Chain A
């Protein structure tokens, strides 16, 4: 009797389930999946939303389908995108989000991205990339010798950020950087030059989202060291003063790759301003030495010279940051932890406060290995 009742209940449940079915079913082949989403303003400051979706089919030569719509907001643009695409446009597989330079000249553009986070179907691990120039040039660039633009860009950001030469900022991370008072946003930067896409480094933004400055690859490495994000293996190259040059060759070059980098940041508040003492320690491996030098005996002198050069670089980077009133390093996080009272007072304009702070960088380099040749 009990068994029969159970079976009846089970059958009823199954029938209900089937009747209910599921309304959000959408097969892969019935959807259009933009892999790149681009936001930009045209000459008349009108918002354009571009998407680039892959097209599946053996006989189709062009593998991507680009759509350009003028819209007020992202979700509102979807209807217009649907009009032009073979399937339902879905934001689930977006790999990269490109932001044009003209967008970055206006504040509060980040509010447009609300849909990424509010509609949970959308991915939030897409990489944010700032474009130095108009986005339309890049999205319509149909390169024959390269993979489609979205995979190309995603690949560039993922591999270069692995050696810290660009910022690997996901949409979620960017949102954190916008909301957290102790840090200002930064993201990868690309540029189109002679029909070649270049990953030029990192774009630094003000707290309100406007463009502040750009960092080159080497500067980005330094930034990531300060952020404690640098992985072992980042490479540096310096001209060592006092070493002979030979003709057109810069034979005073020394290159090395850093091992594990230890960054220590000491935070204090003295005489009405914040003070950060940053100490960077690393054991390095020489990878290139174009001048004769007895490293075995005189390692200390060489270490000293390299450290001086690095310190110089760090100082100019910090000067740049302070000059632009930004904090991509996230020093505000340290200030908040160690000098909470003082930080709370200046929280809302932390970047301005930082430009006034005293930041000292010291570098300790140890040559751990000099390579298999003498």
Chain B
């Protein structure tokens, strides 16, 4: 964090324009995109210089709202008088570090000869992506707006869902060099103040160069950094973020990152999805159970295969035993090698599919389909049951709504495969016990991760395995320890009495 120009950091702004320009040139040496426009203000007759970084500022705004009124509008004519500009936000700045920061963040700064304060003008306008459909979290019935890379816009997107004065925002700056704006959004009359305090303290403690995106922030603020389970949900859907805020959670918006973080969350939160609340409740209940089943399938199935083939083939039904024996008889590798070969192929195909550009990506699918589906079996390298198992695990991991949880399941799968090779079903059960024990011990922002199952909170069960109708979910989840528990009144009471 060595700054060559420490000497000018907190110095006051020199009143003479020439001195100021030399100092600016000194601070921003080798910065050719720094524009310094000298001008004479018609309103007061003073000499001035307008400084901004080309590219980070909105040119139209500078031309129309700053330069045009300063150059052509007649004013009082007295030096030191009020400057009239049509910019929304004008802030007088007194010291250098502030000025430097506002220039670097896209504001333009106006220095006026003879004045001890400079004016930072909000003319921010950097290259921006339009708001698009969320890419990772597609939804059938939800909104089609996803977060973008500008923090203010993301906050605005959330505010659209909660136009309430209790929606508060704590703004923090993280990163010495990056100066990333991190905003914490919460409902003041709902969220537990202790949780909020804990979260803010954790963010304030971070001492790094820069936070590039939410994933990096996660590593600094999560409770158990050595766990393989995600302890914060990252979402790119404003509707999902808004609904989490309403449940008493905090949402962390990191400027320049197209997703936001939700905390505190529990294990079951990763199996919920915005669409769950807009489809009919029996269907979303079915989907919940399907996802849980898929999680355990994705984690356990190859392990079970290995355990059965290596230790417990007495449990295979006779007809399957004959087919399995037939196809295993030709495979030259032990089941562990067979399984790990296929699982690694699958992981590589998946990874390749993410990184490759779309036109090449199709080739991966075809090659993978042929390799996994046909060739390995015909060549006698892999048994056809193994192919079915790999496809089944792949499909299972695709239906989970949260990518981080899928990643955890994938890692667990490999550990369980090793345990199954060493100890068969005993190993798998030990693995399951360790996993459950870990899930129970885990905390997200100090709140139990296993809630509402461990600790048992029956009132929260209505949005876990079963998603009860919305008009019965009258309380906010207790797992977030909200200070206002009541969420809604009895909406359908009239009809029930009929």
Taking Cβ atoms with an 8 Å cutoff, the residues of A that contact B are 3, 7, 17-18, 20-22, 24-29, 31, 33, 35, 54, 56-58, 92-93, 95, 121, 123, 150-151, 154
Contacts and interface: CB of A to CB of B under 8 A. Distances in A.
Contacts of B335: 27-28
Given A17-B422, A25-B310, A7 B318 contact: no
A351 B313 CA distance: 41
Nearest to B331: A29
Nearest to B309: A28
Please give me the 10 A-B residue pairs with the lowest Cβ-Cβ distance, nearest first.
A56-B329, A92-B314, A56-B325, A28-B313, A29-B328, A28-B309, A56-B326, A25-B310, A22-B423, A29-B329
B458 interface: no
Interface in B354-398: none
B331 A21 contact: no
Contact of B309 (A18, A24, A27, A123): A27
B324 interface: yes
B313 A93 contact: yes
B314 A93 contact: yes
A306 B474 CA distance: 66
B314 A123 contact: yes
B318 A35 contact: yes
Nearest to B434: A10
Contacts of A17: 422-423
Given A7-B226, A17-B422, A27-B335, A93 B328 contact: no
Contacts of A121: 314
B334 A27 contact: yes
B311 interface: yes
B422 A21 contact: yes
Contacts of A57: 326, 329-330
A276 to B, nearest CB: 40
Contacts of A93: 313-314, 316, 318, 321
Nearest to A3: B226
A121 B310 CA distance: 14
Contact of A151 (B318, B325, B422): B318
Nearest to B307: A25
A103 to B, nearest CB: 25
A28 B422 contact: no
Given A26-B310, A54-B325, A151-B322, 15 more contacts: A17-B423, A20-B422, A22-B422, A24-B311, A28-B309, A28-B310, A28-B335, A29-B331, A33-B325, A35-B318, A56-B325, A56-B328, A57-B329, A151-B319, A154-B318
Interface residues of B, number: 24
Contact of A27 (B310, B316, B318, B321): B310
B151 interface: no
A54 B325 CA distance: 9
B422 A29 contact: no
Contacts of B226: 3, 7
B482 interface: no
B248 interface: no
Contacts of A54: 321-322, 325
A154 B330 CA distance: 27
Interface in B166-183: none
Contacts of B314: 92-93, 121, 123
Interface in B292-318: 309-311, 313-314, 316, 318
16 contacts: A3-B226, A17-B423, A22-B424, A25-B310, A26-B311, A28-B335, A29-B325, A29-B328, A31-B313, A33-B321, A33-B325, A54-B321, A54-B322, A56-B325, A92-B313, A151-B322
B333 to A, nearest CB: 10
Nearest to A122: B314
B318 A95 contact: yes
Nearest to A148: B322
Contacts of A92: 313-314
A20 B430 CA distance: 15
Nearest to B312: A92
A255 B102 CA distance: 100
Contacts of B326: 56-58
Contacts of A27: 309-310, 328, 334-335
Contacts of A31: 313
Nearest to A25: B310
B318 A28 contact: no
Contacts of A3: 226
Contacts of B313: 28, 31, 33, 92-93
A284 B121 CA distance: 97
Contacts of B424: 22, 25
Contacts of B423: 17, 22
B213 to A, nearest CB: 26
Nearest to B321: A93
Contacts of B331: 29
B311 A25 contact: yes
A151 B319 CA distance: 8
Contacts of A154: 318
Nearest to B327: A56
A28 B328 contact: yes
A28 B335 CA distance: 9
Contacts of B330: 57-58
B380 to A, nearest CB: 10
Among B310, B316, B319, the one with the most A-chain Cβ atoms within 10 Å of its Cβ is B310
A123 B421 CA distance: 23
B379 to A, nearest CB: 14
B424 to A, nearest CB: 7
A281 to B, nearest CB: 37
A29 B328 CA distance: 6
A54 B328 CA distance: 13
A17 B422 CA distance: 8
Interface string B420-436: 01111000000000000
Contacts of B318: 35, 93, 95, 150-151, 154
A290 to B, nearest CB: 40
Nearest to A93: B314
A50 B311 CA distance: 25
Contacts of A22: 311, 422-424
A102 to B, nearest CB: 28
Contacts of B422: 17-18, 20-22
B73 to A, nearest CB: 65
B377 to A, nearest CB: 13
Contacts of A33: 313, 321, 325
A273 to B, nearest CB: 47
Nearest to B418: A18
Nearest to A53: B325
Interface string B274-308: 00000000000000000000000000000000000
Contacts of A26: 310-311
